[in-house]
Amino acid sequence: MLISSIHNVVNGGGLWQIKNFNTYFWEDSAAGTAEMLSHTISSAMSSFSSIQVIDSHTAGEPTRVVIDGGPDLGNGALTERLTCFREQYDFFRSGVVNEPRGSDVVVGAVLLEPFDQTCEAAVIYFNNVGYLGMCGHGTIGLVRTLEHMGRIGPGEHRIETPSGVVTTTLHASGQVTVENVPAYRLHKDVSLDVPGCGVVTGDVAWGGNWFFLASIPGLSLAFANVRELSQCAQAIKTALAGDGITGTSGGEIDHIELFGAAEATEADSRNFVLCPGNAYDRSPCGTGTSAKMACLYADGHLSAGRVWRQEGILGTYFDGSVSVKDGQVIPSITGEAYVTGETKLFFAEKDPFRWGIS
Ligand code: PYC
């Protein structure tokens, strides 16, 4: 998309391609040949020399919040600002979370002024390949980050996300509860023929992101199996796309949640969640736990208010529950996050990996 915005300015009818976000290539569509042209790095790119971030982890899953020096996305509705981010500043996303400054596992968050004035802050989440509508572990990390910055204390704080407003509670203990956007199951018992895994049957549900949730008999959710679990989840994602199975309005099902019996006796279930860029979630995944609870509620296996302890692949857990408002299932998840660093990131003009390795 960045391509098309540059395309609009300088293109005379061909196709611009971008590589490593530093060099543009011009392909003459008529001649079908590619001729490389170097261009001055756009003014948007050259405006970033350093930014301030705060890093945290939530149940093992990292979050990097950009607190100063982020892109100017305007002050419109958050969905408009997300479009602006995606179309004009995607290089920034990559530079912040991808290697060499980050890794495939890092979820980034840019802290913004809220459009909805009842909110403490607005946030757009992103990862190694794109953007997330909502992020449960990220919101828990964000709340601890805002506390670390001295912006909030214990109590309720509303946060605006592209998927909707979520209400968070920072407890005196340091734990954070996130009352998520409404969650629901779209399809039950969808069967897929998955190469290498056989027939897999699962549900499609929304928990702030789209999930396919299944249990794979014979594949244990042991930490030692993350490679096999990742391969199986990737094959499921490919099968979903191949069969044209999507969320509502064609939304890509980009999170795969495998679940099974918990290892800890006090937990109700264990999961493994593959995120859009193929990194697995180190935490039990807040939006994934929300989607799971929506399915349990729909099946009559979870009543409103009952605590559902979701264990993740590292053995850390979130405590979840649902309430029902206006016929909608509202999931809440509670977890812990720790601030791990305050960092200034530099983006030197001559750095060949100024905008990340992607
Ligand atoms: O906690 O919702 C979550 C999440 C989504 C992707 C990574 N973590």
Together in a domain, 259 and 130: no
Which residues are CB-contacts of 242 (< 8 A; sequence separation ≥ 6)?
none
If you measure from the C-alpha of residue 27 to the centroid of ligand 1, how many angstroms do you get, rounded to a whole number? 38
Q: Is residue 358 part of a domain?
A: no
pLDDT at 42: 66
- Choose the residue to mutate in 137, 178, 255, 293 for probing ligand 1, maximizing ligand atoms within 8 Å of C-beta: 137
If you measure from the C-alpha of residue 326 to the centroid of ligand 1, how many angstroms do you get, rounded to a whole number? 26
Together in a domain, 168 and 197: no
DSSP state of 193: E
Residues forming the active site: 135, 285
Q: Is residue 200 part of a domain?
A: yes
Which residues are CB-contacts of 336 (< 8 A; sequence separation ≥ 6)?
58, 59, 140, 174, 175, 176
Which residues are CB-contacts of 4 (< 8 A; sequence separation ≥ 6)?
16, 87
Band of residue 206 on the pLDDT scale cut at 50, 70, 90: very high
Tens-digit pLDDT profile for residues 87-135:
999 999 999 999 999 999 999 999 999 999 999 999 999 999 999 999 9
Q: Is residue 353 part of a domain?
A: no
Asked whether the predicted pLDDT for residue 188 surpasses 80, the reply is yes
Cβ–ligand 1 contact at 322 (below 6 Å): no
What atom of ligand 1 comes closest to residue 207's alpha carbon?
Answer: 2
Selection from 188, 178, 112, 149 nearest residue 333 by Cα: 178
Tens-digit pLDDT profile for residues 211-224:
999 999 999 999 99
Tens-digit pLDDT profile for residues 4-61:
333 222 222 223 334 344 444 434 444 443 343 334 336 788 889 999 999 999 999 9
Together in a domain, 160 and 233: no
Q: Is residue 256 part of a domain?
A: yes
- Domain span at residue 259 reads 184-334
If you measure from the C-alpha of residue 62 to the centroid of ligand 1, how many angstroms do you get, rounded to a whole number? 10
Together in a domain, 224 and 307: yes
Together in a domain, 213 and 330: yes
Residue 174 tokens read as: 């340091």
Q: What CATH number did the domain enclosing 220 receive?
A: 3.10.310.10
If you measure from the C-alpha of residue 47 to the centroid of ligand 1, how many angstroms do you get, rounded to a whole number? 30
Together in a domain, 40 and 72: no
- Choose the residue to mutate in 135, 142, 177 for probing ligand 1, maximizing ligand atoms within 8 Å of C-beta: 135
Together in a domain, 231 and 307: yes
Our count of domains for the chain comes to: 3
Q: Is residue 346 part of a domain?
A: no
Together in a domain, 88 and 122: yes
Cβ–ligand 1 contact at 137 (below 6 Å): yes
Together in a domain, 198 and 169: no
